Homo-oligomer: A and B are copies of this chain.
Amino acid sequence: MNGNSKDMLKLDNQLCFALYACSKEIISLYKPYLNAHGLTYTQYITLLVLWEQDSLSVSELGNKLLLDSGTLTPLLKKLEKSQLIERVRDKDDERIVKVYLTEKGRMLQESFLELPQKMFCNSGIKLEEAINLKAMLNQLLGNIRKL
Chain A, interface SS category: helix
The reply to whether B143 and A22 contact each other, CB–CB distance below 8 Å, is no
Interface range on chain A (Cβ under 8 Å from partner): 35 or more
The answer, among B11, B18, B29, B133, for a CB contact under 8 Å with A48, is B11
Copies in the complex: 2
The answer, among B9, B19, B24, B122, for a CB contact under 8 Å with A22, is B19
A134 at the interface (CB under 8 A from B): yes
Q: How far is B23's CA from A131's CA once the two chains are assembled, in angstroms? A: 18
Closest to A30 in B: B16
A15 at the interface (CB under 8 A from B): yes
The reply to whether B143 and A125 contact each other, CB–CB distance below 8 Å, is yes
The answer, among B13, B112, B131, for a CB contact under 8 Å with A1, is B131
| A100 CB → nearest B CB, Å | 18
Query: Told that A15-B134, A19-B137 touch, could you supply 12 new A-B pairs with CB distance under 8 A?
Result: A9-B113, A9-B116, A11-B52, A14-B116, A15-B123, A15-B133, A17-B45, A18-B133, A22-B23, A26-B144, A125-B140, A133-B140
